[in-house]
Structure formats: structure tokens, C-alpha cells
Amino acid sequence: MRGRIAAGALGALLVLSSLLVAPAAAASPIVARASFPEIDASDRGTDVVLLQLLLRSHAGRYRIVRGLEPTGTIDTPTRLALLLFQRTHGLRPDARMDARTWSALAPEIGRGDSGPAVEALQLAIHRKLGWDVPLDGSFGSATERVVRRFQKEVGLRPTGRVSTTTWRVLAWHYERPSFALPGLCDYSTINGREANWATSSVVAWLERAATIFHERTGMTIAVGDLSRRFGGPLPGHRAHDRGIEADLRPIRTDGRQCTVRGTFAGSSVYHRNATRRMIRALESASEERLTWVVFNDPALVAEGLTTPDASHADHLHLVWCDLSARDILYRCAR
């Protein structure tokens, strides 16, 4: 009895304290969830290009490193420039991007500004949202308009200026692979094209794997569900909620994995050797960030290439690790 009373009192206290600390204007769920993506040497793609352009926007002042180009990979000039930036800003010099380094690196910009930081903004809008915006590095009325539109969509006050919060939501925003690439195609399940979104690095690793695989075999990687635009629960899946998972179809002997469904491991149209090569291409493109490939082909399981699961006999489920994951299932091993 005493225990129950105490629990009741504690409950009331918790309700009261949560009312007291409730912020005056609650952030939208998207803004509340968005965090700057952590980046290390294994990352690539749009977020790395953002980092490179933002480093260049400081280069004049800090005479950073010659040869720093928006390559999309953490190459030596990028690593040196990042280390130097961290040193000169009282940040831990580890050449990794975390929230503190992002916040120090991303300047507040608005109408009339120009230079690499504006280029970074325009590129992020162009690649992640797929919206029309001039890629000229100058913040004019067209850029201001799309910034307002983005701020409205995610639940920020549409000021048209890019503050740390707007940078954060934009850097966190997922991206879609380019299905126009020769080695990549899209197939849809119940979620249609809504589930074509993933982190910039996952998109870059997938695209790179598709290019490698296509060069070697002439075949195409068929991509099904990734995640929704802002993540969260995805109908028909237990996972696929955080932009780091993908479903792929096994390769068929007739090469028609983009259009034909229901190809099971072990069936006569299943192309084991090409599927194995696809997995190897994905592994080599993903810089050791590909954690799991779940697929129920006993031969590939025996080779240590895939993890068995009864519900994954006609598609592969891929999981990449996330540097900032709290959940041990998604954490990177190093």
C-alpha cells in the first residue's frame, strides 16, 4: 500500500515537473529529431561535399589547405583542413564531424551573402530536396524563396535566413539515389516511391556499388524500400526507420530483377554468382560500414556473406552502421 501511494505521488511529481520544463514554443517533430550527421573518414557523398564547401568558406580567413576540393570523400586535404579548423576553434582535433564542429563550421547566411557556404546550401537543397535552385554561390531571391519553403515544410519559422538550426535540419535531411545511373534501378512495394530516402552516405555507397557492379557484370542493382523522407515507422517493415537500411532483390539469370518480383534463392532463375558479386561490390563500396546482409541463401550463408532469416528468401536486407547510434544494433564496431 505504501509503495502504491509513493508511486502515485512520484507520478504526480513527474507530471508536474514535465509541465514546468515544457518549452514555450515546442519545436516541430522533425526539428526536434534532426541532428547534424556524424562523419568520419568512411563517409562520402553530399554531406561530405557540404563539409568541404563549408571548410572552403573559412579558407580565406584561416589560409586552410590548398587542393581542398568538393570531392565528396574525406581525402588528405579535407582531413588536414578539418584538423586545422578544429585546432583553431578550440575543438577536439580528431578530423571527425560532430555537432560541435558542424555548428562552428556552418555560418549564418542570408540574402546578399555569397561564396562557398552559399554554394553548400544550394547544393544541399538541389541534391537532397531535388528542388530547382541556382548553383551560383550567391544568395539571391530565388535561394531565399526555397529556404523559406524548406523552413515551412519542416516546421521552422520561414525567415529565409539560414541559421545553425536550418543547417542542422538540412544536413540531417535524407536523400534519394539517382536511379538514372546505369547500374541502379528502383522497384516499389506497398510504399511506392515514398520509401526511397536514405542518408547521404548510404546513397553514395549504393551508387558507388552500382557503378562497380555494373562495370564488372553489366547488371543492375534493384533497390526497393529504403526509408521515408524523414524516417520513422515504415509500413510492412520492422525497421527501415533511420535511413541506413535497404532492401535489394537478388540478381536473376535473365537480368530482370528490376521488373520481376518473387525471385527466391535456389529457384532456377536465381543467379547466385552475380548476387555474390553484388554483395562484394556493396562491401567494397561501403568502407566497412555495411554491417549486415540478411538473405536466406544457404550457400552464401555458409560463405559468411549473408545472415539467414526465413522471411528474407526473395530479397536482401542491408544494414549500414551509424556513427551516432545509441542502439547497439546500429552502432559501428570501432
Binding site residues, Zn ion, CB under 5 A:
247, 317
Nearer to Zn ion, 247 or 297 (CB): 247
| Closer CB to Zn ion, 43 or 247, in the complex | 247
For residue 317, the minimal CB distance to Zn ion (Å) is 4
Cβ-based nearer residue to Zn ion, 46 or 191? 191
- Closer Cβ to Zn ion, 97 or 318, answer by number: 318
Matching residue, cell 529565409:
160
3-class secondary structure, 291: strand
Q: Angle 141-154/164-172 helices, nearest 10 degrees?
A: 70
Distance between CA 36 and CA 17 in Å, rounded? 29
Q: How far is the CB of 249 from Zn ion (least distance, A)?
A: 11
The residue among 58 and 317 lying less far from Zn ion, judged by its C-beta, is 317
Rounded CA separation 97/81 (Å): 12
Q: CA 160 to CA 152: how far, in whole Å?
A: 10
16 Cβ neighbours under 8 A, 6+ residues apart: none
CB of 320 to Zn ion, least distance (A): 12
Q: Closest distance between Zn ion and the C-beta of residue 195, in Å?
A: 10
Nearest CA to 199 out of 227, 165, 232 is that of 227
CA 55, CA 116: separation in Å to the nearest integer?
A: 8
d(CA 192, CA 220): 19
Closer residue to Zn ion in complex, CB, 173/317: 317
Residue nearest to Zn ion (CB): 317
Q: How far is the CB of 238 from Zn ion (least distance, A)?
A: 8
Instruction: Give the nearest distance from C-beta 119 to Zn ion in angstroms.
Output: 36
